[in-house]
A = this chain, B = another copy of it.
Amino acid sequence: MEKLAEANEYAAAEVNRNLTNEQKIGFMLDMFRIRRFEQEAAKQYSQGKMGGFLHLYIGQESVAVGTVSVLGEDDHVITAYRDHGHALAVGMGMDECMAELYGKKTGCSQGKGGSMHYFAPEKNFWGGHGVVGGQTPLGLGLAYALKYKGLTGCVLCFMGDGAVNQGPVHESMNLASLWDIPVIYIIENNGYSMGTSQARSSAFGECLAARAEGYGIDWDVANGESLYEIRAKTAQAVERAHKESRPTVLEIDTYRYEGHSVADANKKKYRTAEEIEKYKTEHDPLRLWRKVLVEEGVLDDQAADALDREAKREAIASAKFAAESDFPGPEAIFEHVYHEVDHDTVSGRTGKHFFND
């Protein structure tokens, strides 16, 4: 990662210049909320309260919070399975997110999607997708629909550094450029796909984002330590999308502290304990943003701690909410398969839709 000082020069960027203290504090709180939510989720996971996978975003909070913070009304978000951060950043509640992990009816997807499959279309959030790279044509399609409808908006479509080697990513980039689709592909480069370092999974010239050049797409790389830089570079891409209807590929360097998922027993095998420690102490986006705010006089340490406590309380409460919620009943298995059946339309009533008997 480049020097943070340099990154923080982006404080002067237009999108950052006029931020109010309240907004800056809001970003701090948003990041605390993601971290505390996930810590609580991990704790509950280890106590057997949920099943399947739990991919933690801890260490990467600045990316979701920074990028989403520059979006407007007709801007949308879609991401992969490591989706808790983006979900909270777009404004989903901790309760529905935690309940989803528990598989409860009060979950955002009524307990049917789980950790990897959060959705909140009314918050412009289109998932949570489990198949690596599979969301990239979907993000393209969402942006295609915006353009089709004549709206001035764009789509942030997130993916990991490992995802860039999936075919659909490449097909999507070509289509995005060819058809001037306002989609912004954000590569959250945390250096690893599961236990595989970037160097062992991708061949590239300058950087992953530079592959965009092969499609005539503008690209950039941002330092994920700095909210200011993330915001500035995302804003630039959003402006390009809004004004020119052109795509962008934006790579953001970041790091995950935990294993690939909570069940990753190898989390300290493919990288050194020192490497992880170094990120936590020197590059932690929460710590660094807090420092910026303290230096700017926006926040003192006590106030920051209070924010953090607030986030933690909310997370604990969400676990209680989830625990006390009901599981869906067995009838839920056959709900939400077909729109027409759910709505008991004529079309939903002709012919047999389910084949167990």
Q: Are B165 and A177 in contact (CB under 8 A)?
A: no
Closest partner residue, chain B, to A164 (CB atom): B174
Interface flags for A207-240 (1: CB within 8 Å of B; 0: not) read 0001111111100000000000000000000000
Q: Which residues of B contact A211 (CB under 8 A)?
A: 211, 214-215
> How many angstroms between the C-alpha atoms of A204 and B176 in the bound complex?
11
Q: Which of A151-178 contact B (CB under 8 A)?
A: 165-171, 173-174, 176-178
- Is A8 close to B, CB under 8 A? no
- Is A202 close to B, CB under 8 A? yes
Shortest Cβ distance from A50 into chain B, in angstroms? 33
Q: Which of B174, B202, B216 contacts A174 (CB 8 A)?
A: B202
- Is A203 close to B, CB under 8 A? yes
> How many angstroms between the C-alpha atoms of A214 and B216 in the bound complex?
12
Q: Which residues of B contact A216 (CB under 8 A)?
A: 203-205
The count of identical subunits is 2
Q: Which residues of B contact A202 (CB under 8 A)?
A: 174, 178
- Is A23 close to B, CB under 8 A? no
Interface flags for A193-208 (1: CB within 8 Å of B; 0: not) read 0000000111111000
Q: Which residues of B contact A178 (CB under 8 A)?
A: 200-203
> How many angstroms between the C-alpha atoms of A293 and B4 in the bound complex?
65
Q: Which of B166, B174, B204, B217 contacts A215 (CB 8 A)?
A: B204
Closest partner residue, chain B, to A171 (CB atom): B167
Closest partner residue, chain B, to A180 (CB atom): B203
Closest partner residue, chain B, to A200 (CB atom): B178
Q: Are B165 and A168 in contact (CB under 8 A)?
A: no
List 10 interface pairs A-B (beta carbons < 8 Å), by A numbering: A167-B170, A167-B171, A170-B170, A174-B202, A178-B200, A204-B214, A205-B215, A210-B213, A211-B214, A213-B213
Closest 5 CB pairs of A and B: A167-B167, A211-B214, A177-B203, A170-B170, A178-B203
Contacts beyond the supplied A167-B169, A204-B214: 18 A-B pairs with Cβ under 8 Å: A165-B174, A166-B171, A167-B167, A167-B171, A169-B170, A176-B203, A178-B203, A203-B216, A203-B217, A204-B215, A204-B216, A205-B216, A210-B213, A211-B214, A211-B215, A212-B214, A213-B214, A214-B214
